Structure 1
Amino acid sequence: MSTKRKHEVPDQQEPKRKHVEEPDQQGFTRKNAEVPDLQELKKKQTEVPGQQEPVREKVLDHIYGNKFWGPYLSERQWCTVREETLGNCWDSTSYEKITHDSYRWGEDGIFGLSDEQQKLCMGLTLWNGKDSVVKERFFGLTGPQGNLGEDVKELYFYLDNDPDHRYMKALYLYPQTEFPYTDLIEQNKEGFCHSAGKGVFDDGHWQIIVEYTKPESDTILCRYTVTNISTGVQTLNLSPKFWFRHDHDAKHMTDVSCFQVKGDESVVSVSYQLEPDCCYATYKLEVKPGGEDIIEWELLPVGKPSYIDNSSDVIQEWKIKAETFYNSLYDCQWSDQEKAVAKGAWAGLLWNKQFYYYDVDELYHRGQAVENKVKTVKPGNWDVMERNIKWRKHFKAKDILSVPDKWEFPWFAAWDTCFQMIPFCRLDPDFAKHQLLLLLSERYMSPEGQLPGCEFNFDDNNPPIHAWTSLKVFQMTGETDLNFLFNSYCKLQKNYNWWMTNLQCSDKYIFYGGFLGLDNISVVDRGCPPEGYSIKQADATAWMALFALSMVQIGIELTRHNFPSPGDIQKDLIKYLKDFLCISHQLNKDIDNGGMWNLEMTFYNDVLVDQLTEQYIPIQVRSLVGLLPLVACGIVNFSGIRCTEELKQALQTDSIHVCDITCGTVNFSGIGCTEELKQAFQTDSIHVCGVIKVRSLVGLLPLVACGTVNFSGIGCTEELKQAFQTDSIHVCGVIKVRLLVALLPLVACSTVNFSGIGGTE
């Protein structure tokens, strides 16, 4: 490792740099660390005379993939479920206390990097000379403290990143006055307080731009550009920080990773009592008003050529390559402002990757902290902790995950991941597919087929959109990766069966799911209904309709490509298609008949069911829950798949015709429909002329101009009354017209195309 100061302030002596011995490929002397060690590899080289260099290069290529180093450091590890020791993550530690405690499951820092297994971490440390603590991580409010839940109270921005993290850029604004830690906590008790507090930047601040580049997959080059935004000369203490992740069992800890740090050659400090796992290179910067200073450092394997003397050219080269990558994604009609917004959003996705380590069984086996350790894990009562206890036997996460936000939500949620992978597949299709399959793997999904919700409670069900996302990613990436689609389909069958078995109400094809994560504020706790009642949920039922429809669409794609065996998949298609129709049919029944449609409100409602009297009590609230039945729509195209006889028979019966369930286009052209099939669909509004035409949303657009016109109290003239007295509109104080909520029965819109499948007579 080497550091370099590019712009020195006159008459200021540069601090003596700490030199770190570099016996291994990371550049740090260590004991018992699990960082990949090349010592054994060097021994193996001697076993192949004359081929030492090629073998070494091959091994290095295997160890250092393009994504070996990345922005995998969390921005908040404190107050997470993984670090709780008292059964309540918010009380187990705090922003202030963590400076004296060690983490057990990860690390955090400011714009930090690490390797894929987070053995070695690096981040930025700052001190303005005024704060009571050194700034090593971003500050924010915990869940109980924040007026809106957990809430970061710093100003920082992700500016650039690329899929392989070859060039990364971010900006942090650091006050030059004392940071208002206490004030922010107190002010948020009374109401919402903006990030960093009011007026905290009025007397000046530091603008700190952090840039990373990887000229090679095993080399990191970093530049800090510090600008003084104030009217006077200001001083800033800046320290690049390097440390090993604490990954030892507190019960059995006998040794820890350590650095041997050399200053003066006559002194070597190696101590287990003085944070032996950390190394800092400290600079005290005095910067004029509007001036800037630059600090650079480099991390590379022993024996590799250095890039730090040519850093400006190297950073600029990879910055241009990142810009070229983004230019390939922009729509040609976008303005510069629109491009900037898109780039910021994509950069945010790429920065919010995180090393996520959570082994539920191992957590329960970790005991009290060893005494006489100056810095170790906080003692806890491990015997009473019951969170996620049902997931002990199989849940073992130790992966790089895309998370919603590395500070406010530094954990995965199954359906958040699904939504994140839609834009992610434009940036890095392989990563998007890997994330989706990872959540379906045996280390995440339960043996019964349940997907974990989030770490606060894995039993909380997220909306089952995994099938929909897998299909979208397949379609957005060229419809060529059939292995990905088939693997997803096979694993999703297990998850589908779990929903059908465990979350189906007594009224068949109606579902409940509990929290579900969308309509978080309800008049009842949907995860725990009142005693003596069960709950039927309109959104859970709609999500299951979408799940079934997505499985139909995936099955058709696989069958169309004859992958792997169309006969087996078509048997499943019949099941999923019938499930979809039955769910839609049941959902659209009125509440008194076991459905979810409230005739009085003309809206979908959740329903409480009295378990003694079996009385249905609608939760009469207009919310997103009642709109979600509209999501279960799509295009089902059977053309070109050579349907089996069984599938043909299933499609050419009354089972496909459920009155007023589906709206869309069902295309029978080219299959020679029987008279019986035609007659089945010949109603007042549906006729067969090659194509069955039914009502669609296009025909509903004239209804956007709808509302309530209130004439009460104005003394209407006879002429005005007569003008409005028509067959469908009358004036009785208020003119009543149809509202869009009355159209919600049109929930399951789809196109079923039978052309080209050779229909039987």
Structure 2
Amino acid sequence: MAGAEKERLREPDEWRRWGPYLGERQWGTVREASNGADAWTSFTHDQARYRAYRWGEDGLAGFSDDRQRVCLALALWNGADPILKERLFGLTNGEGNHGEDVKECYFYLDATPTSSYQRMLYKYPQRAFPYEDLVATNGKRGRDDPEYELLDTGVFDDDRYFDVVVEYAKAGPEDVLMRVTAHNRGPDEATLHLLPTLWFRHTWSWAGTTEPSLHTLGTGTVRAAHPDLGVWWWYADGQLMVTGNETDDERVFGIPNTTPYVKDGIERAVLHGDLTALAPDGVGTKAAAHHVLTIPPGGSETVRVRLTTAATDEPFGGFDAVISARREEADDFYDEVLGGDPASDERLVCRQALAGLLWSRQYYGLDVERWLTERGADPIGAPTGLSNEDWRHLVAGDVVVMPDKWEYPWFAAWDLAFHAVPLAVVDPAAAKQQVELLLGRRYLHPDGQLPAYEWNFGDVNPPVHAWAAWFVYQYDRDTTGSGDRAFLERVFPPLLRNFGWWLNRKDADGRNLFQGGFLGLDNIGVFDRNAPLPAGGRTDQADGTAWMALFCQNLLQIALELAHEDPAYLEHAATLLENLAWIAAATNHVGNGLWDEEDGFFHDVLRHPDGTSTPLRVQSAVGLIPLAAATVVGAQLRHEHPGLVDGMRGFLDRHPAVRAALWGHGAQTDTDGPVLFALFDESRLRRILTRVLDENEFLGPYGVRSLSRWHAEHPYVLTLDGVEHRVGYQPAESDSSMFGGNSNWRGPVWFPINAMVVRALLHLHSYYGDGFTVECPTGSGRRLTLEQVAREIGDRLLATFLPGEDGRRPVHGGQTRYRDDPHWRDLPLFYEYFHGDNGAGIGASHQTGWTALVALLSRVPVREGVR
């Protein structure tokens, strides 16, 4: 049994063909919307019950093949709800004081990379689900009020709910076992309708495919025939119900149905006793096995189903033994991958963080040209204003690690890069595949731009793909003892194209200072950097410029690695070194750069139309990214590539102004030690760290804040053309309406930014060594090396999820149920970002995309390496 999952990872991809690739929300997405402009109202949660999707599917605790053609999920009914619970519910972008927000209680407990074992928990109330209350109460709350969550409604009072545990295990690559165990946590006997559901994604009426069929064959057996996947067998206890995955046109559009067997047919039969929507011959494209379970207080009931290519007379023979074996193999896998005490809280947090990451793999399908054509756009005609008209080449049909499965059920470029890094801990091959995905011709724009995210592929995200590629390569090399050179050779050319796009498109006047726009930092700035500035001009961005410096450094590392076997890459390395030198010199140019000597910090600079400039003295993550752009290359560079070093010396001799602006850190060519590429010297580094490590500024109890707490009493104010623009410290939700609501970069802790700071500190320690110490926290008298500072930040981040002395996990805020109730106690949530002062989770509650970085930051062997 030992190493069974590791062995599966070495086998061909058939073990990965089936997995949790079904989303939890397909409604309200651009790809399903009629025009893309207002996706939330174009395809609503209510319509999702009646309207067949096109590009993807959703379901509760779902499983599917990697093209989402055959889908398996769970439906529930407590006898009180007005609808069948087939998918998660949440607020749309305009319904609450947070915006889009899932309003359910569910938890990803375990997962393996090949999906040989998966487990999640859904908490289903026995009272009527408070749909209307959640919408109405959140709608009445203002921006300064807390969100109204499901636990606040009282629907779980007296423990009147079911814990529904869903497990998947594979007996083979094409043999999927699903076990659902419902626990009655309440004081009284309660009835639960439990319906495992199997269906085909609807492609036959529009994509030119042959219609598949589900056909009941006696008690508990369904024959599933699909033109691409062949014949499968679905075995289930319970009463089989079959209908069609067809839109209920009468309910959605007010026109007659062409068939009585429509998507909501099973709901109508279970809730209302209407059997007219069930196919009497048992043939259709959607089926459910209806179980009516009466569960005593404290008791449980279990339902089993099996989906397999092998017909059998004993589908449940050895069923539980297979699930037990796969669960033990998962334990063995994480014992090896994570190490440490399996019973520790730290181990629990890391394993559930990685489980969420692996559960968040979803199929993403979209053909932009087809989408546009169906909405009347002419491929070579005038623009129509439809979404993503400049991205007609984009054709997606892949399993992608999403930010989460509800609030962000689509890829975002910089999120995906951050996802690949913790994914490398459990599945380096998949991590490499995710890095490569957006660099391929089906995604990368012909001009070299990476697609940002579904709402606007043409927006810009921070360019961190090169960093992710280099990290994954190093981690894989250090783990296996052999570097995947072919991977670097594949990603280097498109990364270089993307670097060129940035050079050509985001440097307004060729001065090597960049104006990226949005760059993921939402409204942390004085104004929306993605919109025309209030008084004209432009903003040279400290973060945009630093991201480009880091991009250049990472490309340089890749080029040097490839040059070991192919000297042709040295020419690329030389060009990248020169680019880096120009960027560093521009950043540090006295009086015209981004360093503010008065503040001892990096800032954006507002360039006015008349040629004057104003430094925007906000102490924020914008000024921390230059700290993150620090990379060390080993001393062997000088010995292995003397020509490269000589060339750099010649370049600096020809450009003495560049040499003077580098503060000795663009290219140290006259010493024998390692080479540090950075945007600052030792003196400036100490000034920056004094602020970063000050608990009254950036260093919070649970990580580095995105805005200095100093601004709580000293807000930054800038007046332009008589209009006052203000930035003040907000530890959680922002009070700004800049992005249509409480956009959230004015003080909270974000894991990706912290990860980049930790990375930089480790690099800087490898250069300066143990002799370089700083006060941490500032003013404490406690001296730490930079490696120890990195560990300190990592420990604070991890502490967000660990029980404190009072037994409370800070991530859960003031919600005592997670502390006091044994059925909630070990269920940390992995939010989008965290309160800057108390660590409470804020934003999307299941963003174990980049927040899964906690599994990396907590691991000593990874910390000790320089990535």
With normalisation by structure 1, the TM-score equals: 0.75
Mapped contact 1:64–1:218 kept (Cα < 8 A): no
Q: Cα–Cα, structure 1 residues 214 and 306, in superposed 2: closer, same or farther, change >3 Å?
A: farther
Structure 2 residue aligned with 1:629: 626
Partners of 1:249 and 1:366 within 8 A in 2: no
* Cα deviation, residue 343, structure 1: 0.6
Query: Residue 10 of structure 1 aligns with which residue?
Result: none
The structure 2 residue matched to 1:148, chosen from 81, 84, 98, is: 98
Cα drift, residue 535 of structure 1: 2.2
Q: CA deviation at 1:569?
A: 1.3
The answer to whether 1:549 aligns with 2:504 is no
The reply on whether 1:518 has 2:515 as its aligned counterpart is: no
Runs of 4 or more, structure 1, over 4 Å off, are 61-64, 252-256, 262-265, 267-272, 304-307, 382-385, 662-671, 693-708, 746-753
For 2:692 and 2:73, the matched residues in 1 are separated by 53
Residue aligning to 1:496: 499
Verify the 8 A CA contact 1:403 1:417 in the aligned structure 2.
yes
Q: 2:374 is matched with which residue?
A: 366
1:68 aligns with 2:13: no
* 1:451 and 2:450 aligned: yes
Rounded to whole Å, the distance in 2 between the matches of 1:399 and 1:214 is 21
Structure 1 window deviating more from structure 2 (627-636 vs 124-133): it is: 627-636
Q: Kindly indicate whether the alpha-carbon contact (under 8 Å) linking 2:102 and 2:406 is maintained by their aligned counterparts in 1.
A: yes
Structure 1 partner of 2:268? none
Equivalent position of 1:409 in the other structure? 408
Bigger-Rg structure (1/2): 1
What aligned pairs does 1:675-754 form with structure 2 within 5 A after superposition? none
Q: Is the 8 A contact 2:241 2:288 kept in 1?
A: no
**Partner residue of 1:227?**
183
How many aligned residue pairs are there?
Answer: 613
Change (3 A) 1:243 1:308: same
Counterpart secondary structure, 1:227: strand
Aligned to 1:193: 148
Select 2:29's aligned residue among 65, 80, 104. Answer: 80
User: Which residue does 2:157 correspond to in 1?
Assistant: 202
TM-score (norm 2): 0.66
Give the AA of the match of 1:194.
Answer: E
CA–CA distance in structure 1, aligned partners of residues 383 and 588 of structure 2: 48
- What is the distance in 1 between the residues matched to 2:562 and 2:452? 29
How many Å apart are 1:529 and its aligned residue?
Answer: 2.2
Q: Any gaps of 5 or more consecutive residues in structure 1?
A: 1-60, 369-381, 672-685, 687-692, 709-745, 754-761
Equivalent residue letter for 1:142: T
1:649 Cα shift? 3.0
* Residue pair 1:72, 1:118 contacting (<8 A) in 2 also: yes
C-alpha offsets along residues 368-420 of structure 1, whole Å, 9 cap, x if unaligned?
9xxxxxxxxxxxxx99551110001x100100000110111111111111111
Corresponding residue for 2:200? Answer: 244
- Alpha-carbon distance in 2 for matches of 1:603, 1:174: 50
User: Structure 1 residue 284 and structure 2 residue 282: aligned?
Assistant: no
Distance 1:500 1:139 in 2: 43
Cross-structure match for 2:232: none
Partner Cα separation in structure 2 for residue 606 and residue 139 of structure 1: 40
Distance 1:420 1:700, change over 3 A: closer
One-letter identity of the residue aligned with 1:609: R
Question: 2:575 maps to which residue?
Answer: 575
- Residues 82 and 63 of structure 1: CA distance in aligned 2, closer, same or farther (over 3 Å): farther
Judged with a 3 Å threshold, the aligned counterparts in structure 2 of structure 1 residues 323 and 664 are, in CA distance, closer, same or farther, namely farther
Q: Distance in 1 between matches of 2:214 and 2:621?
A: 55
In the alignment, the residues of structure 2 paired with residue 261 and residue 334 of structure 1 have an alpha-carbon distance, to the nearest angstrom, of: 44
- Find the residue that maps to 1:129 and give its secondary structure: coil
Report if aligned partners of 2:420, 2:431 keep a CA contact under 8 Å in 1. yes
Corresponding residue of 2:486: 483
Aligned 8 A contact 2:81 2:128 in 1:
yes
Residue 305 of structure 2 is matched in structure 1 by: 297
Q: Which residue of 2 aligns with 1:352?
A: 360
Q: Name the SS for the 1:573 alignment partner.
A: helix
Does the 8 Å contact 1:507/1:594 carry over to 2? no
What's the offset of the Cα at 1:702? 8.4
Q: How many angstroms apart in 2 are the aligned matches of 1:70 and 1:606? A: 44
Distance in 2 between the 1:260 and 1:426 partners? 42
Q: Which amino acid aligns with 2:327?
A: K
Amino acid at match of 1:65: E
Q: Is the 8 A contact 2:170 2:177 kept in 1?
A: yes
- What is the rounded CA distance, in whole Å, between the counterparts of 1:670 and 1:254 in structure 2? 65
- Report if aligned partners of 1:538, 1:626 keep a CA contact under 8 Å in 2: yes
The CA distance in 1 between the partners of 2:214 and 2:600, in whole Å, is 69
Give unmatched runs, 5+ long, in structure 2.
1-9, 222-239, 245-258, 263-283, 377-381, 674-679, 697-759, 769-867
> After superposition, what is the alpha-carbon deviation per residue over 1:351-374, rounded to whole angstroms, capped at 9, x for unaligned?
000000011111112259xxxxxx
Quote how far apart the aligned CAs of 1:80 are: 0.7
**Equivalent residue for 1:661?**
663
- In the TM superposition, residue 62 of structure 1 has moved relative to its aligned partner by 11
> Structure 1 residues 504, 614: CA separation in 2 closer, same or farther (over 3 Å shift)?
same
Does the C-alpha gap of structure 1 residues 169 and 310 become closer, same or farther in structure 2, counting only changes over 3 Å?
same
Q: Does 1:558 align with 2:555?
A: no
Contact 1:662 1:749 survives alignment (8 Å):
no
Deviation, 1:519, is 4.1
| Superposed counterparts of 1:107-118, under 5 Å | 107-118=57-68
Partner residue, 2:421? 422
Distance 1:196 1:125, change over 3 A: farther
**CA positional deviation for 1:459:** 1.1
Q: Which amino acid aligns with 2:128?
A: E
Counterpart selection for 2:330 from 306, 316, 322: 322
Decide whether the 8 Å contact of 2:199 with 2:286 is kept in 1. yes
How far has the Cα of 1:594 moved from its partner?
A: 2.6
Cα deviation code 1:69-103 (max 9, x no counterpart): 10000011010111111431111121112112111
Superposition pairs of residues 636-647 of structure 1, within 5 angstroms: 636-637=633-634, 639=636, 642-643=640-641, 645=643, 647=645
Could you say which residue in structure 2 is the equivalent of 1:31? none
The equivalent position to 2:613 in structure 1, one of 613, 616, 623, is 616
Aligned to 2:389: 389
Measured in 1, the distance between the counterparts of 2:32 and 2:22 equals 15
2:456 partner amino acid = N
Give the corresponding residue for 2:543. 539
Q: Which amino acid aligns with 1:201?
A: F
**1:524-558 superposed Cα distances (whole Å, 9 cap, x missing partner):** 11111226322211110010011111111111111
1:291: Cα distance to partner? 0.8
Amino acid at match of 1:259: L
CA distance in 1: counterparts of 2:642 and 2:212, whole angstroms:
63
Question: Residue deviations 1:707-751, cap 9 Å, x none?
Answer: 99xxxxxxxxxxxxxxxxxxxxxxxxxxxxxxxxxxxxx999698
Aligned in 2, Cα 1:304/1:500: closer, same or farther, shift over 3 Å? farther
Quote how far apart the aligned CAs of 1:180 are. 0.5
Aligned to 1:680: none
Letter of the aligned partner of 1:231 in structure 2? P
- Percent of residue pairs identical: 36
One-letter amino acid of the counterpart of residue 288, structure 1: P
Q: Which residue of 2 aligns with 1:24?
A: none
- Please, what is the CA RMSD of the aligned residues? 3.3
Provide, for residues 575-605 of structure 1, a one-character-per-residue CA deviation record: whole Å limited to 9, x for no partner: 1112112211211235xx3312334444322
